[in-house]
Structure 1
């Protein structure tokens, strides 16, 4: 295969794998998101806590998918391996059609193997050191999901984990794009994974007053841009996208979902958890992504917003979207369905955006009823999915610590 080192290499998304609260595979997830059907519900893992509901993974049987190997993996690694397998099959990457030595894995995560740390910490406290699993560290360390994907699929290129909080999945896609443009790799499996619906993480976010407390009606709790939003709902899962140069996809006869046209990143350098109230650096990342794609705001037909359903975050993002695009460009947030999947969120949302580009369908913003008085006059798609050509779309992600990341996708 010819290696292209041009910074303008045409990079495409040729395969998608998803394991989310909306479904244990990509078609089911896409159908649930298009229907605008919220997934938040009471969660027995959180019983007795201040917030006892989540957007839990739907219909995923780890041992049925992964076999006995699942027992040696933290859930965040299981989700990544399952999503990677689906993505590779979807892309028709079969033996002899790609070089494992030039195939990379780049995943994002915010907290890594949190459930393993909590479980083993409880064992140490309650039953003593001899009961702690000897595999605790290799199960729980943040890099192990990427390592597990590489081992499962026999990939020998770079295997990397990036952690930029809730922007991690999008950051991974940007890094993967650079690997392909540089010619260092021919294929990259890029995405994000998270399994942070745990008692400690839920309680910590609740103590931070970041979570919705709409326990009487969990299904309506995640409501991006809505006047009654009161915080986000924890979600879990993974998405992995197969990225490659367009010529290699054509050689296999694989029609891509979309092109990955550009990416941008910036840092607020403002506050530990709160966004810059003016959104200037998030806007910088967005404009940088458009410049990287050689496009302008007028070219964009869809914004998949980060919009987590928090009062401050949604307001700041709505204003920056209005400044860049005005009030006519359609905007959606799929977190009304999936909740906030932290380090996996950007990858899941980029995958859903690619499907919007491919199918010409914009998912509705679930649970949106009336615009908050602090939300700018942007065009929020809600109620029903919208049929519309989407030749260019952007997907925003922002994280604690001031991490901002944006990707631009286009029709293939």
Structure 2
């Protein structure tokens, strides 16, 4: 890439915790974080925030009267963004852009207001301003007093990596030199779960590992929903103290044969990975953090695409969805966080029920994939 972009900090809040040390400690554990939740009848499998993180969100909600009416998706983003800003040594009121997207936005709040409307025939004054998709970035901008642009969008499950693409484009245009990017999702509601179940892709079995992401021989779909937010601070140029450098970005879509389809060999992933590699040799990539949602077709098509691009001697493969579930619009940035941590600690995080053919001797270059409904693929190449 002509203009390298540095990741100078990354912060998240999820079932893994809300600090880098907690997140890494939980990645090294071989157990998953999936629970049975009472989100309907019968109970369903999901991955909520831990009690400590929920307490932090409630403290944030109570810290400002204006925040009491905000959806969790907004509060998750504010929480993660504050820490990212601090870790990057950015200051409140600085001139930086914000692009934090979400697949579903203010899910819980929207469903609450709609239920009240059906019962009462009217709705609350703040219904519209607190459920628009744009309120995630705009509230983060308010909280951080940013003077730059605030952008929100939804490109379903590749939303966070599309936010990163936008940040890279703004930085390369030199219209700004700092951008905060990421995704936030708080979609653990009965209606959302019911939608995934209706697609026949949701995990039903309470196995040792309910989500079999990256198990290419599974016979049933095993996707599980999680919640959380993750954001990264991007700066133009190579920085000595950066966590990683964005070496390349790639994106592609493919023609729809069905609303949620992806081709057998994931043509969109093939194109996005080739674009992200650019002039870099495929042999230089040490690890690929796959999208791998835990569905039969989704996992296998991405794997087929990897073999098309890298051949049989492909890089080591991993994913985090078996542990933390699919966090929709936040998932891509949580995968970026996993990649950064593996490079920092020079430790490959395995999927415990998958036989890994080889382990990388070193982790200097990682490729991260994400894709949304309709084949909106993004690939990001990071180098330490």
Question: Would you call these one fold, judging by a TM-score over 0.5?
Answer: yes
- Counterpart of 1:63 in structure 2 is 58
1:278 CA drift (Å)? 2.3
TM-score where L is the length of structure 2 = 0.92
1:53 offset after TM fit, Å?
A: 1.8
Aligned residue for 1:405, secondary structure, equals strand
**4+ residue segments displaced more than 6 Å:** none
From 292, 295, 303, the counterpart of 1:318: 303
Residue 277 (structure 1) shift:
1.5
**How far apart are the structure 2 equivalents of 1:33 and 1:9?**
32
Structure-to-structure mapping, 1:269-348, within 5 angstroms: 269-270=255-256, 271-291=258-278, 294-328=279-313, 329-348=315-334
C-alpha distance in structure 2 between counterparts of 1:27 and 1:232, whole Å: 27
Partner of 1:42: 36
Supply the distance in 1 between the matched residues of 2:306 and 2:357 (Cα, whole angstroms).
11
Aligned length: 375
What is the DSSP-based 3-state SS (H/G/I as helix, E as strand, rest coil) of the residue aligned with 2:139?
A: helix
1:75 and 2:72 are equivalent in the alignment: yes
Q: 2:117 aligns with which of 124, 131, 140?
A: 124
Task: Measure how far apart 1:89 and its partner are.
Answer: 1.2
Structure 2 alignment gaps of length 5 or more: none
2:350 paired with 1:364: yes
**Which of these residues, 224, 232, 249, is aligned with residue 263 of structure 1?**
249
Rounded to whole Å, the distance in 2 between the matches of 1:338 and 1:241 is 19
- Correspondence for 2:213: 224
Question: Residue 175 of structure 1 corresponds to which residue in structure 2?
Answer: 166
Question: 1:88-237 maps to which residues of 2 (within 5 A)?
Answer: 88-94=85-91, 100-101=94-95, 103-126=96-119, 128-129=120-121, 132-214=123-205, 216-217=206-207, 220-226=209-215, 227-228=217-218, 230-237=221-228
Match of 2:82 among 77, 81, 85: 85
C-alpha RMSD of the superposition: 1.9
**Shift in Å, 1:63:** 2.5
Contact 1:19–1:26 (Cα < 8 Å) also in 2: no
CA distance in 2, matches of 1:200, 1:90: 37
SS in 2 for 1:170: helix
Matches of 2:301 and 2:363, distance apart in 1: 25
2:265/2:302 contact within 8 Å kept: no
Aligned counterparts of 2:7 and 2:148: Cα–Cα separation in 1:
19
Question: Match of 1:4?
Answer: none
Task: Give deviations 1:153-172, integer Å, cap 9, x for gaps.
Answer: 00011111121110111111
Shift of 1:361: 1.7
Write the deviation string for residues 175-222 of structure 1: whole angstroms up to 9, x where unpaired.
1111111111111100111111111110011011011111x34x6111
- Superposition deviation, residue 241 in structure 1: 0.3
